[in-house]
């Protein structure tokens, strides 16, 4: 009551319980029609061509994908394309709290995992940035959904070049063996990886591969936004 909410996107008065105004809330680019596997926005529900080809290739090799499905709450478009960079690169943790709140509302009806795992930063990048944006999304998300947060399981063991500077193929090579699971820890059977943005999915797939090799049976991902 003393501090009425303000819209984090445009500074107009916010809605009750939400740091967005009515106009920006109405403009949120919800990703409601997307590929069932990789969350790529589609004109109608189904599985995109890339995922169908990937599934066929894995079937020929008698392998199953490490990452079962990705659920992206938003398409990476306005006003997310302003809020997410402010959160990720400019320490706007209020924007992160808002995005986590919106994510929690969107994924509440999905199958509940045994644990939520934020995709970790390498310690060098964490020192430079000062915070881990995936953890800042995952912590309130897990609390809101009453799910265990397990930020102790997965480590980023190899410092990699920024993914935004690389092609899709280079992204996959860049992340080879970049993640590892801490030894000697009892692993949940079903986990959800949490991250801020998915472009090609290379980071999520690399993290999922590490968890799968360690013995996790079922791995999904919840991300804030999907780049079309």
Contact assessment for residue 187 and residue 179, using Cβ atoms and an 8 Å cutoff: no
What does the mean pLDDT of the chain come to? 90
Asked whether the predicted pLDDT for residue 102 surpasses 80, the reply is yes
pLDDT recorded at residue 169: 57
Average pLDDT over residues 28-35: 96
Confidence of residue 117 (pLDDT cuts 50, 70, 90): very high
Query: Tell me: the pLDDT tens digits for 141-190?
Result: 999 999 999 999 999 987 665 655 555 556 566 677 889 998 888 999 99
Q: Count the Cβ atoms, other than its own, within 10 Å of residue 86.
A: 16
Whether 4 shows a pLDDT value over 80: the answer reads no
Q: What is the pLDDT of residue 128?
A: 87
Please provide residue 30's backbone torsions phi and psi, each rounded to the nearest 5 degrees. Answer: -60, 140
188-227 pLDDT, tens per residue? 999 999 999 999 898 999 999 999 999 999 999 999 999 9
- Say which DSSP state 158 is in: S
What pLDDT is attached to residue 154?
95
Q: Tens digits of per-residue pLDDT, 47-98?
A: 999 999 999 998 999 888 999 999 999 999 999 999 999 999 889 999 999 9
User: Quick one: pLDDT at residue 123?
Assistant: 86
The per-residue pLDDT for 164 is 55
How far is residue 117's CA from residue 153's CA, in Å, rounded to a whole number? Answer: 8
Please state the rounded mean pLDDT for residues 124-146. 93
Any residues with CB less than 8 A from the CB of 39 and at least 6 apart, and which? 31, 70, 71, 72, 198, 223, 226
pLDDT computed for residue 161 by the predictor: 57
């Amino acid at each position: 009551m003393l501090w009425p909410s303000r819209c984090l996107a445009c500074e107009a008065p916010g809605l009750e319980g939400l740091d967005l105004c009515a106009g920006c809330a109405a403009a949120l680019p919800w990703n409601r029609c997307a590929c069932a596997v990789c969350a790529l926005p589609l004109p109608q529900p189904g599985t995109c061509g890339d995922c169908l080809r990937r599934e066929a290739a894995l079937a020929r090799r008698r392998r199953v994908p490490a990452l079962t499905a990705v659920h992206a709450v938003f398409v990476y478009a306005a006003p997310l394309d302003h809020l997410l960079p402010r959160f990720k690169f400019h320490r706007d943790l209020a924007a992160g709290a808002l995005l986590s709140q919106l994510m929690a509302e969107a994924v509440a009806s999905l199958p509940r995992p045994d644990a939520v795992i934020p995709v970790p930063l390498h310690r060098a990048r964490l020192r430079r940035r000062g915070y881990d944006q995936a953890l800042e999304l995952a912590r309130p998300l897990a609390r809101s959904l009453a799910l265990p947060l397990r930020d102790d399981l997965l480590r980023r063991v190899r410092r990699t070049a920024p993914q935004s500077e690389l092609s899709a193929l280079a992204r996959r090579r860049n992340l080879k063996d970049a993640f590892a699971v801490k030894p000697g820890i009892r692993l949940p059977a079903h986990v959800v990886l949490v991250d801020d943005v998915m472009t090609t999915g290379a980071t999520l797939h690399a993290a999922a591969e590490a968890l799968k090799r360690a013995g996790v049976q079922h791995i999904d991902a919840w991300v804030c936004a999907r780049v079309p």
